[in-house]
Amino acid sequence: MKADFEFIVESVRDAVLIVSAEGQIVRINAEAERMFGYPRQELVGQPLETVLPAGASIRAMAEVADSLARRRDGHEFFVDVSLSPATAGGVIAIARDVSDRKRMNQELGRQTSILESILNSMGEGVIVCDQTGKLLLVNPAGLRLHPTLRGREKPGVAVYQEFGLFLPDKLTPYPADELPLARVLRGEVVDGLEMFVRAPHVPEGIWTTVTARPLRDANGSFAGGVVVIHDTTAIKFAQGALLAGQEAEGKRIARELHDSVSQDLCCLILDMAQFQRELPGSLGKVSDRINSQKEKLMEVAEAVDSVCRQLHPSVLERIGLNQALAHLCTEFNNRKGLHIRFSHGEIPAALPAASALCLYRVAQEALRNIVRHANARYATVLISAAQGGLHLSIEDDGVGFDPKTVGAKARLGLVSMQERVRLVGGSLTIHSEPGNGTRIDLRVPLLDESPRPEYDTSLEAVAVA
């Protein structure tokens, strides 16, 4: 029996120290020799504190984690100690070297601290949840950009709903099953999702772009999701300021053309008419040539007037959106040979300037594209009120196209229209396929924007490139 005990003690891979009731070491195994660097004969008879400085308090416990141990050469390291009773009131202490684990934990703690510092300093909001939707982490920017999480940022708190999140029209709450958190919990990838956050501490709201990715563990199993929120408010207003400057410059050029070139052309036409009346009747050929030049000058005057309207559609301010669109369709009928049927429903007489201008510019660009690319004979333009906003539909019977393979120039026009619509919180859908014509559906809200103090008041009245 004694031989069996000896064999077991010497075979274990942990240090074994048998300690008397007085706290002296009476026996050690080979691993204890190696771990502490003492020959048996030198360590036997020494107090337990020789190798375990906290030996006295250790003997009063059953298990001690991360206790400090000391080698013969003075080197200190960490051990876990388990105690079992021995005969005559003594104890058997089993020590396991955990210094590697301790270093790993310290390194993990250091890396965690670095990660936490990075997350806390990021301008982007970061939200991490497990596969059940319980919140594991949210950084300060996440709380600022996603204020409904405030008070629920402690790990393990379930996030059942997210409030204050709206579609780009700023009026329609985001559908619960389409929220980034809901989608990522279904294993979906979310890229560039635009959301408007109506935050209590920011009355004018926050524009955000959201990306989200599922998280997987080392085995590839679904483990949750991470959502990253980018504050795009400054970009949104900067784009508006840029477009406001473009529109203002267009207005200035249009005014200069109207006040100078157009007026000079009119005066020249009148002078030629007066000169024609003063000519003798025998100079018929000269009179005919004057008539021809007058007609050309009138065409130039009309072209300049058309350029002025394209640079700045002042007709919107004079006669309103319905009549402006009707006038636009008539112009394309007369000058471009495209047969357009225009109709409208009951829409408010007073419209937000940004919404009206966006609709007009998209219609202008769409009709221009039909003339250039569609080879169409007929088109319809319909505008109506719908769901708290305006709906504009433009359809043609042309050759159609595949939106994914459209040429660079045409793609630029489509991107331009989409950008105009996005800046007023609207949506643009293009339905087309080769041989079956094209239909564009545009919806914009009727919510008039209030500009931020640091921007010019003309900012929100512009939504065109």
Closest to 51 (Cα-Cα) out of 62, 34, 9: 34
Non-local CB neighbours of 9 within 8 Å, separated by 6+ positions: 16, 29
Q: What is the DSSP string of 26-38?
A: EEE-HHHHHHH--
Tell me, yes or no, whether 348 and 434 share the same domain.
yes
Structural domain count of the chain: 4
State the pLDDT confidence band at 449, using cuts at 50, 70 and 90: very low
How big, in percent rounded to 5, are the helix, strand and coil portions of the chain? 45, 25, 30
pTM for this entry? 0.46
CATH code (residue 25): 3.30.450.20
How far apart are the C-alpha atoms of 77 and 26, rounded to whole Å? 23
Residue whose token pair is 């929120």: 229
Q: Which of 203, 231, 259 is the last residue of a domain?
A: 231
Q: Are strands 134-138 and 125-130 parallel, antiparallel or unpaired?
A: antiparallel
The token duo for 365 is 């660009």
Q: Flag the least confident range among 131-135, 299-303, 316-320, 458-462.
A: 458-462
Q: Indicate whether 116 belongs to any domain.
A: no
- How far is residue 459's CA from residue 463's CA, in Å, rounded to a whole number? 9
Residue 181 pLDDT: 84
- What is the share, in percent, of the chain residues with pLDDT greater than 90? 14
Percentage of residues of the chain with pLDDT beyond 70:
71
* CA atoms of 375 and 89, how far apart (whole Å): 104
Give the pLDDT of residue 157.
Answer: 43
- The CATH number that applies at residue 370 is 3.30.565.10
Q: What does the pLDDT read at residue 379?
A: 93
Q: Using the 3D structure, point to which of 255, 284, 312 is the last residue of a domain.
A: 312
Q: Report how far residue 442's alpha carbon sits from residue 363's, in angstroms, rounded to the nearest whole number.
A: 10
Mean pLDDT (whole number) for 332-357: 82
Whether residue 464 sits in one domain with residue 327: yes
The average pLDDT across 19-41 equals 91
The answer to the question of residue 114 being in a domain is: no
Range of the domain at 338: 320-465
Of 227, 230, 126, 142, nearest to 182 by C-alpha is 227
Is residue 337 domain-shared with residue 445, that is, in the same domain? yes
Mean of the per-residue pLDDT values of the chain: 77
Residues 340 and 461 in one domain: yes
CB 127 within 8 A of CB 137: yes
Each residue of 76-118: pLDDT tens digit? 999 998 888 887 778 888 999 998 888 888 887 788 778 778 7
Residue ending a domain, among 187, 208, 231, is 231
pLDDT tens digits for range 316-342: 767 788 888 888 888 888 877 789 999
* Whether 343 and 427 share a structural domain: yes
* Number of neighbouring beta carbons within 10 Å of residue 237: 21
Phi, psi of 412 (to 5 degrees): -60, -40
The C-alpha atoms of residue 208 and residue 234 are separated, in whole angstroms, by 10
Q: Is residue 80 part of a domain?
A: yes
Can you point out the beta strands (E) in 202-306? 202-216, 222-231
Residue 71 in this model has a pLDDT that exceeds 90: yes
